[in-house]
Chains A and B, each alone.
Chain A
């Protein structure tokens, strides 16, 4: 299969196209940084205002689930990198296996997250009139918990979908292994991992000592 199959309008050659895709995806990442950044800003403002309430509230998060999920995502990122490297060396099997592994680990993350959510809901930790914690500002922490993890989970689910579609395309040889698109997919995946790395200390490690 020739590289020509991966070349798209309006690019003169595949190398240039690869650079273009990289520029494009990193611009998107810069945009995403500000998307999540707005959440981080809100979190930081409220934590600065109500350190005590945040300490009380954050003690209720489940650090085990959070940590397991961090390890799952870190591993998935490693698998994704191996997939990219392998694809560029035309190692079809390794590429597909690693993409599969990435999706598997990502799905694992979502499963753990689901367990965590159901625990949280069982403990009544969704802000509302019967919220178990006091003072009321603890609800701010939990509001941010739900929005942050929710938005992250949506990103991750999207990532799994995109990786899945892409793996399918490679499997059915609709695109050659060397397609620049894989760079975009991988960079996005790593970014979603990045967000969790930042969320982890903010949500799970507050004043554990």
Chain B
């Protein structure tokens, strides 16, 4: 396996993290040097028997000194906080055009599904200079996807999606490891992040044997699992039409309004009684244990594709307002 160093700077964000890190190293180095040299200096000058002058230290001065260094420390620390936090806040917003890759972790492997439908194990191929958003979940314990070159890591949790995004600026093969202790083979739950030029990526993607579109696979599931029996617009069962549901505001029977994003759709499939849409009876069975995480990924991809399809009218959700204030 040819892997570049752990510390290559894989993204602009990684460069910023490094910058912050080294400035912190310099500040800490200076403070440590100050303390160390004071200790050494005092130890030498005021060793027993030296002829240094040792008078009392005036109470008032000592008080001023205390207040002085307390305030100085406080301001220094608050400055570091502000600086680190503002860097962080700037990185919170995911670009809207991010390429979405699904990652399912289990003891002790990473299963990856590309938006084009290609499946990978312990490898993630991404194009260079394109924002990539990883949508991750775990089938068993907590794992953590660690991309050292991106200076990113994020716990991968069972029963829930967590996200990471980055824009790679450097092609190559980089490390990908698990950083949250997950049992026996935790240390070998590793893989590769392969960053390719956009054209290489497109070529690679289409050459994959399973490059059947995720959404198309999801559509097949939608019929084979029987979802269409109720949710098809022509069905006689009173169930919400799902066209355009993704990203919309959904009014629930208990008065709440939620945005139908991945997490909502996931819950609606696994735990249908949790959020009942206003105007519908709670008749949908739970698909917990019936669909796997991989199948969920496909189903949700299909539902998302229904929102982007221009030909279908979006009469989907009763009482649903247009998706104001909703991103993605």
Q: List the interface of chain A (C-beta within 8 A of B).
A: 50-53, 134-137
Distance from A136 Cβ to chain B, minimum over Cβ atoms (Å)? 7
- Which residue from chain B places its CB closest to the CB of A135 in the assembled complex? B273
Q: A134-B273, A135-B273 are in contact. Are A51 and B286 (CB under 8 A)?
A: no
Given the known interface contacts A52-B273, A52-B274, the answer about A136 and B288 at a Cβ–Cβ threshold of 8 Å is yes
CA distance A51 to B255 in the complex (A): 12
Decide: B254 and A135 in contact? CB cutoff 8 A: no
A50 touches B274 (CB 8 A): yes
State whether A51 touches B273 (Cβ < 8 A): no
Q: How far is the CA of A52 from the CA of B272 in the complex (A)?
A: 12
The 9 closest A-B pairs by CB, nearest first: A135-B273, A135-B271, A135-B274, A134-B273, A52-B254, A136-B271, A50-B274, A136-B288, A52-B274
Within 8 A of A (CB), among B222-257: 254
| A50→B271 CA distance, assembly (Å) | 11
In the assembly, what is the distance between CA of A136 and CA of B288, in Å? 10
Size of B's binding interface in residues, CB under 8 A: 7
Q: Which of B264-282 contact A (CB under 8 A)?
A: 271-274
Complex formed: what's the CA distance from A50 to B276 in Å? 12
B257 to chain A minimum Cβ distance, whole angstroms, is 15
A53 contact set on B, CB distance < 8 A: 273-274
Residues of A within 8 Å of B274, CB to CB, are 50, 52-53, 135, 137
> Which chain B residues lie closer than 8 Å to A52 at the CB level?
254, 273-274
User: What residues of chain B lie closer than 8 Å to A51, measured between beta carbons?
Assistant: 254
Residues of A within 8 A of B273 (CB): 52-53, 134-135
The listed residue with most A CB atoms (<10 A of its CB), out of B254, B271, B288, is B271
List residues of chain B with CB within 8 A of the CB of A136: 271, 286, 288
Bound CA–CA A122/B272 (angstroms): 28
Interface residues of B (CB under 8 A from A): 254, 271-274, 286, 288
CB closest residue in chain B, given A134: B273
B298 to chain A, nearest CB (A): 23
Cα distance A134–B286 when bound, in Å? 10
B residues near A50, Cβ cutoff 8 Å:
274
Closest to A50 in B: B274
A53 vs B271: C-alpha distance when bound (angstroms):
11
A115 to B254 alpha-carbon distance, docked (Å): 35
Chain A residue at minimum C-beta to C-beta distance from B275: A52
Distance in angstroms between the alpha carbons of A53 and B286 in the assembled complex = 14
In angstroms, Cα B274 to Cα A51, docked, is 9
Q: How far is the CA of A134 from the CA of B276 in the complex (A)?
A: 14
How far is the CB of B295 from the nearest CB of chain A, in Å?
19
**Please, which residues of chain A bring their CB within 8 A of the CB of B288?**
136
Task: Report the bound CA distance from A134 to B288 in whole Å.
Answer: 12
Nearest chain A CB to B236 CB, angstrom units: 24
| Other A-B pairs beyond A53-B274, A134-B273, A135-B272, 15, CB < 8 Å | A50-B274, A52-B254, A52-B273, A52-B274, A53-B273, A134-B286, A135-B271, A135-B273, A135-B274, A135-B286, A136-B271, A136-B286, A136-B288, A137-B271, A137-B274
Interchain CA distance A51-B286 in the complex, whole Å: 18
Residue pairs across A and B with Cβ atoms less than 8 A apart, 19 shown, are A50-B274, A51-B254, A52-B254, A52-B273, A52-B274, A53-B273, A53-B274, A134-B273, A134-B286, A135-B271, A135-B272, A135-B273, A135-B274, A135-B286, A136-B271, A136-B286, A136-B288, A137-B271, A137-B274
Residues in B with CB closer than 8 Å to A134 are 273, 286
- CA of A135 to CA of B271, assembled, Å: 7
B145 to chain A, nearest CB (A): 25
CA distance A92 to B5 in the complex (A): 81
- How distant is the Cα of A116 from the Cα of B254 in the complex, in angstroms? 32
Minimum CB–CB distance from B178 to chain A (whole Å) comes to 27
The closest CB in chain B to the CB of A49 belongs to: B274
User: A6 to B225, alpha carbons, bound, how many Å?
Assistant: 76
Q: Taking the nearest CB of chain B, how far is it from the CB of A55, in angstroms?
A: 10
Q: How far is the CB of B276 from chain A (nearest CB, A)?
A: 8
Chain B nearest Cβ from A128, distance in angstroms = 15
Min CB–CB distance A80 → chain B (angstroms)? 43
Residues of A within 8 A of B254 (CB): 51-52
CA distance A198 to B271 in the complex (A): 30
Chain B residue, CB-CB nearest to A55: B254
Q: In the complex, what distance in Å separates the CA atom of A50 from the CA atom of B267?
A: 12
Report the separation of the CA atoms of residues A53 and B276 in the bound assembly, to the nearest whole angstrom: 12
Q: How far is the CB of B267 from chain A (nearest CB, A)?
A: 10
Note all chain B residues with C-beta closer than 8 A to A135: 271-274, 286
Report the bound CA distance from A136 to B289 in whole Å: 12
CB-CB nearest in chain B for A51: B254
Cα A52 to Cα B276 with chains together (Å): 10
What residue of chain A has the Cβ atom nearest to residue B254's Cβ? A52
B240 to chain A, nearest CB (A): 18
A48→B274 CA distance, assembly (Å): 12
Question: Which residue of chain A is the closest to B274 with respect to CB atoms?
Answer: A135
Complex: chain B residue closest to A138, CB-CB: B273
